[in-house]
Structure 1
Amino acid sequence: MCGIAGVFTSSKSNNIDSQILVNMAAIQHHRGPDNYGYCNPANVGVGMSHSRLSIIDLNEDRGRQPFFLEGTVIFAHNGEFYDYQRIRAELTAKGLNFSSKSDSEIVPWLFKKEGIDKALEQLRGEFAFSLYDEQEDALYLVRDRFGIKPLYWTNTGDEIVFGSEVKVVLTHPKVKAEIDTQGLFHQLIQVMVPGTTAFKGISQVEPGHMLKITRKNGKFSIETTKYWDMDFPELAMRPQHSDDYYISGVRKHLLEAVQLRLNADVPVGCYLSGGIDSCCILGLASAASQEPIKAFTIAFDNKDYDETPIATEMAESVGAEQEILELNAELLYDNFERTIWHTERTIYNTLAVAKLMMSQQVRHVNYKVVLTGEGSDELFAGYPAFRKDMFLHGMEGVSSEQAKAWQKALEENNKLFQGAMLPKDEYICEQINNKVGFTPSCLQPWLSCSGTAKQLLHHSRREEIAGYEPGEAIAEKLDCNYLSGRHPLDKAQYVWIKTMLEGQILTWGGDRVDMANSMEARPAFLDHKLAEFATLIPPEMRIKGSREKHVLREAVKGVIPETLYNREKFAFMAPPAHTDDKKWQKLKSLLNEFASPRQLEDAKLIDAGFLEVLIKRQESDVTSEAEKIQNDALLNHVLGVMILHHHFVAQDISEKAYNKAQALGWTI
């Protein structure tokens, strides 16, 4: 894993300032502290830079990027490609000469030999890359199928500026940092519109998408292509196979995904919670590895949220060496500000802080790579919201009384997550209903915050979004071609994948807090070969009766403890602030530091009066637990917004980047 950056100007005669490219690498030094490089040939109007985290081919000279092939292709890559040895061998047999043992170098050679479309078909892994082809005079910006690796960009009119993080884009002197009003609103309600950010004019390349940017007569032409999506078969086209076909298929594809991700020139560990996802990854990795696997576990100081005992049982069952990081209020909130600097978006729960602290612990014991369980709930319908939607919209051959009984039990067993993972009240969005057929339960808790979020906005911002419907904006980004004719559970999973997975789990729960400490996470479940097989699994095998992830449980039954095999899904979440007075006082202290009435009025983002109302509601004995969980999220978002303003708007990122380059000795 690394960080990439670059500038593509509107004319070949506009040369790129080398120091700007180096500054862009320096501001993301945490993504790649092992080496850096840049490339900006004269009279090409293109420059790229790269900060490197050495994992494959540790040779500093051979693995240095950007690659500049035969004077016609410039390429920079962030991520990992699996099965690259086979591709490299096939290309070598065709007469191509590689300069490194790096997995990254296969892409420019595939592009030159077979073109971008056929190259993308062969890439397996998590990646974001930039590729300039002089023959076409075109820049390609490409992001992996699920959006595991980030890629941001903006158009100043004269330049396309891009990078692995927002702060990289803001390093360019022509890019102004400004909080976008609609982006601000979506920060407060947690769920983002796919492809957007909190910052005006700065977009993300969407998962499974490619931008091709060409220039002519001083202007850019930008073509966006979707090259992959999560394609559940239509009901009428769904194949019929035996249960064993699906169970053995999941086992086969998951084991292959794990084996591929154990490939590294450095030691590989595993994240381990008490859930089936990380436990089966550890079990399969331990079975496939010749050496014991190191397992890393987060322990919370609240037994209602702590899963350490089950994680320890799993670690002991496979002989893994377990590292347990115990986290309390002081650690979580003392690192909140640092977490927002890295996530570049708000967080509703301090789980993001916990993940950042865990990646720090991983590096502390000299590990750079871990396998993780993200993606399992998305493929196999593990979240409580999926079961709720299945009970409401997707049960066939089950009496309404039985479905209601299962739903009641679901809500009773998940009281800790009502207001966050489950809606506390039903919320219907007409535009999403029209597109999907119903409003998925995963979106309801956040869309239902819209009224409160609008009251939280500063009055000047509130006027800008009068009549704006966040659900409508999200609905417009959902592709009917992948919703029409599908089972309700397929639809619910598809919507989650397009919104919550990329915008939350893979951002502030994944890459950004992992790479904050120069650590690479590899989510084996998000191997696209496994995902494509998972789309074929009948809904009633993903959720069988009231049992979630049935097919996965059966596939990994032999590698997990019986306790876990029989255990209901428990959402992994840090304890909210209101559950402990120390946490609550810490949160209020941070609000006083970053969101004082004076700061709020200067920033003109948040309404000081209504923020005070919300705090008083949180301290009231008459406020329900579900409402407090939702208010806790809103207060975390407010704090995050003000920290974003403090670090990205009120301060000069360009100056920060140059100072970082100076400190590293990277001045030219």
Structure 2
Amino acid sequence: MCGIAGIFANSPERNIDSQILVNMAAIMHHRGPDNYGYCNPKQVGIGMSHARLSIIDLNEARGRQPFILHGGQIIFAHNGEFYDYQRLRGELTMQGVRFETKSDSEIVPHLYLQTGMDHTLRQLRGEFAFSLYDEQTDTLYLVRDRFGIKPLYWSQTANHIVFGSEIKAILAHPEVTPAFDSQGLFHQLIQVMVPGTTAFKGVHQVEPGHMLKITRRNSEFQVETIKYWDMHFPVPAERARHDDEYYITGVRDQLLQAVQLRLNADVPVGCYLSGGIDSCSILGLASAISQEPIRAFTISFDDEAYDEASIAAEMAHAVGAEQDVLKLNADLLYDNFARTIWHTERTIYNTLAVAKLMMSQHVTHHHYKVVLTGEGSDELFAGYPAFRKDMFLHGMEGLHAEQAAEWQHTLSESNKLFQGAMLPKDEYVSSAINRKVGFTPSCLQPWLGCSDLARQLLNDERRAELADYEPGEAIAARLDENYLKDRHPLDKAQYVWIKTMLEGQILTWGGDRVDMANSMEARPAFLDHHLAEFAATIPPELRIRGNNEKYVLKEAMKHLLPTTLYERQKFAFMAPPAHTDDKKWQKLKALFARYASPEQLKQAGLINADYLQYLMEKQENSETPAADKIQIDAILNHVLGVMLLHHHFIEQDLSQLAHDKAQQLGWVV
């Protein structure tokens, strides 16, 4: 895992400034502290830089990127991992290709030269974001992996396309002026993002499963967005029905292979371990494959209602893993809130993001660079309570009313802690999403349901600008109807989550950004696309059997899991909200006093100070319902996050900050 950055000029005669390229890598030093490299050949108008975290091929000189290959025709920089790359290297070697390194990254430019980009992308397995420039066609490709595990941003200025693994690298370019986009700001306050967007004006994401093909013609850019993969749930006519054992065995075999591939590294590999079956399954399989005990890293919270450490300990003991427990309290969570926003580059609704940043720091302090994680399981096997809710409401034709009511009650009772966050406290209907999907998925309702609160929180100017803006309509416009039409309601709910919450939350502030903040690579084995494509074929009634979510996965992993875990219902993994503990609440208020005082709010011109004060008082009122407090807690975290984004990225001169960082590191050219 690394950080990449680059600049593509609208004319070959515009040479790219070496120090700016290096500065862009330097501001992402946390992503790649082991080495750096850059290239910007004269009279080509392209430059790339790379901050390296060494995991495969630890030889620093040999593995340095960007790669310049085929007589300078190809320039390539990569962030991520390609699995099964040894097989591809072998096939290319048989065709006469000579490799200059042992790096997995080098397979891409050679595959591209041999077979073209379309065929290359079909061959790649893993998590990745890369840039490839082909001088022969004067084309730059910016490519992101199928689920968006690795980030990739870009922006267009008067004369350049600027891109990077993080937004801060783009804002480090002197031609990019940092400013909030009003719609992006609105979505920061309601948690759910519009795919491909950010909080910042003119800064975009390459969407998961997409590539940008940018061709230079007559001093202008032709930017083409091409989808190369999407999550394909079969329509009823395509769905072959097998017996349960076929799907159970298939999941077991595919997951075993995914874990085995992700244990490949030239450094030690550990596992994250919570009390859910996802991380427990990964640890169980990794322990069965490995000849040495696996170190399992567990987060423990100081609130028993949210803590899963004791259940995780049962799993660690069962497989002989070395469990390492990090105990977190309010001081650690809120003292590191501001630092977390610097890395997430978007707001967070819960301090789980801070907890995961603290855990990645803990992991690197114990000299681990790589961990396997359980992210993606709930998306593939319908583990979230919102999926069960949608299945009960829309996907079980003929279900007896009494049985449906009983299951709904069980769902609500087992997820009381998350009503207002993981589950809606009130039904919210978006007519635009209803037209595209057929219903408004429950996963979006808690956040779209915050729209009125968010509007009142915006200052008058921003609110007026968004008077006719409907967030559900903006999200619906980015959903591909070809992957929704005629699908089962559960398929639709999972597809919408994958396009919104998985990429914008789980893999961003719950994944890459807080992992790489401490130079640690997370490998989510469940998001292996071979496993995902198989999981999509599992009939909805086997993903959720009655009131039992993730039925097929549980049966596939039954032999690995202690009885407690096998029988346990899904419990969402969250940090305790601030309102649950006065010490946490006082810590949160102190952060508001530091970064969101009335004077700071007025100067920033983003947030309505009076309405913010009203919400703070409502949160302190003992008569406010619990579900309302959970929703307000999320909103307050978002407001604080907005002000921290303003502090980090608007008030500061990031081009100067990046230059100072390069000077500090000795990266001077």
TM-score (structure 1 length as normaliser): 1.00
Alignment of 1:29-428 (within 5 A): 29-70=29-70, 71-428=72-429
SS in 2 for 1:30: helix
2-structure distance, mates of 1:138, 1:255: 39
Instruction: Kindly provide the CA deviation profile for residues 466-498 of structure 1, in whole angstroms up to 9, marking residues without a partner as x.
Output: 011000000000000000010000000000000
1-structure distance, mates of 2:622, 2:322: 44
The residue type paired with residue 632 of structure 1 is D
The residue type paired with residue 325 of structure 1 is L
1-structure distance, mates of 2:323, 2:398: 45
What displacement does 1:397 show? 4.2
1-structure distance, mates of 2:324, 2:630: 30
Instruction: Kindly provide the CA deviation profile for residues 272-294 of structure 1, in whole angstroms up to 9, marking residues without a partner as x.
Output: 00000000000000001111100
2-structure distance, mates of 1:639, 1:621: 23
SS in 1 for 2:278: helix
1-structure distance, mates of 2:177, 2:154: 13
Q: Which residue of 1 aligns with 2:659?
A: 658
1-structure distance, mates of 2:237, 2:78: 40
2-structure distance, mates of 1:215, 1:525: 38
SS in 2 for 1:225: strand
SS in 1 for 2:464: helix
Alignment of 1:499-648 (within 5 A): 499-648=500-649
Instruction: Kindly provide the CA deviation profile for residues 538-572 of structure 1, in whole angstroms up to 9, marking residues without a partner as x.
Output: 00100000000000000000111111000000000
The residue type paired with residue 451 of structure 2 is S
What displacement does 1:398 show? 2.2
Q: Which residue of 2 aligns with 1:22?
A: 22
What displacement does 1:412 show? 1.2
**Structure 1 stretch 231-240 or stretch 581-590: which is displaced more?**
231-240
Q: Which residue of 1 aligns with 2:455?
A: 454
SS in 2 for 1:423: coil
The residue type paired with residue 55 of structure 2 is I
What displacement does 1:366 show? 0.2
What displacement does 1:401 show? 2.0
Instruction: Kindly provide the CA deviation profile for residues 209-253 of structure 1, in whole angstroms up to 9, marking residues without a partner as x.
Output: 010000111110001100000000002221111100000000000
1-structure distance, mates of 2:272, 2:283: 8
2-structure distance, mates of 1:400, 1:209: 43
The residue type paired with residue 348 of structure 2 is I
SS in 2 for 1:14: coil
2-structure distance, mates of 1:222, 1:365: 44
2-structure distance, mates of 1:115, 1:479: 26
What displacement does 1:667 show? 1.1
The residue type paired with residue 174 of structure 2 is P
Alignment of 1:480-491 (within 5 A): 480-491=481-492
What displacement does 1:93 show? 1.0
1-structure distance, mates of 2:134, 2:107: 15
2-structure distance, mates of 1:204, 1:303: 38
Instruction: Kindly provide the CA deviation profile for residues 418-448 of structure 1, in whole angstroms up to 9, marking residues without a partner as x.
Output: 0000000111110000000000000000000
The residue type paired with residue 4 of structure 1 is I
What displacement does 1:338 show? 0.3
Q: Which residue of 2 aligns with 1:12?
A: 12
The residue type paired with residue 556 of structure 1 is M
Instruction: Kindly provide the CA deviation profile for residues 90-124 of structure 1, in whole angstroms up to 9, marking residues without a partner as x.
Output: 10111111000000000000001100000000000
2-structure distance, mates of 1:201, 1:401: 52
SS in 2 for 1:558: coil
Instruction: Kindly provide the CA deviation profile for residues 499-522 of structure 1, in whole angstroms up to 9, marking residues without a partner as x.
Output: 000000000000000000000000
Q: Which runs of 5+ in 2 are unaligned?
A: none
The residue type paired with residue 625 of structure 1 is A
The residue type paired with residue 92 of structure 2 is L
The residue type paired with residue 340 of structure 2 is T
SS in 2 for 1:516: helix
The number of equivalent residue pairs is 668
2-structure distance, mates of 1:495, 1:42: 45
SS in 2 for 1:135: coil
What displacement does 1:400 show? 2.2
The residue type paired with residue 470 of structure 1 is P
2-structure distance, mates of 1:282, 1:464: 50
Runs of 4+ in 1 over 2 A off after TM superposition: none
Instruction: Kindly provide the CA deviation profile for residues 42-71 of structure 1, in whole angstroms up to 9, marking residues without a partner as x.
Output: 100000000000000000011000000021
What displacement does 1:396 show? 3.3
1-structure distance, mates of 2:26, 2:629: 41
**Cα RMSD between the aligned structures?**
0.5
Instruction: Kindly provide the CA deviation profile for residues 169-198 of structure 1, in whole angstroms up to 9, marking residues without a partner as x.
Output: 001000000011100000000000000000
1-structure distance, mates of 2:238, 2:537: 10
Q: Which runs of 5+ in 1 are unaligned?
A: none
SS in 2 for 1:3: strand
2-structure distance, mates of 1:289, 1:504: 31
2-structure distance, mates of 1:46, 1:193: 30
SS in 2 for 1:56: coil
SS in 2 for 1:55: coil
Identical aligned residues as a percent:
74
1-structure distance, mates of 2:606, 2:185: 8
2-structure distance, mates of 1:128, 1:401: 49
SS in 2 for 1:475: helix
2-structure distance, mates of 1:647, 1:486: 43
2-structure distance, mates of 1:85, 1:39: 27
Instruction: Kindly provide the CA deviation profile for residues 614-650 of structure 1, in whole angstroms up to 9, marking residues without a partner as x.
Output: 0000001111000000000000000000000001000
What displacement does 1:460 show? 1.1
2-structure distance, mates of 1:463, 1:423: 27
Alignment of 1:429-444 (within 5 A): 429-444=430-445
2-structure distance, mates of 1:399, 1:9: 63
The residue type paired with residue 322 of structure 2 is E
What displacement does 1:411 show? 0.6
SS in 2 for 1:174: coil
Instruction: Kindly provide the CA deviation profile for residues 245-277 of structure 1, in whole angstroms up to 9, marking residues without a partner as x.
Output: 000000000000000000000000000000000
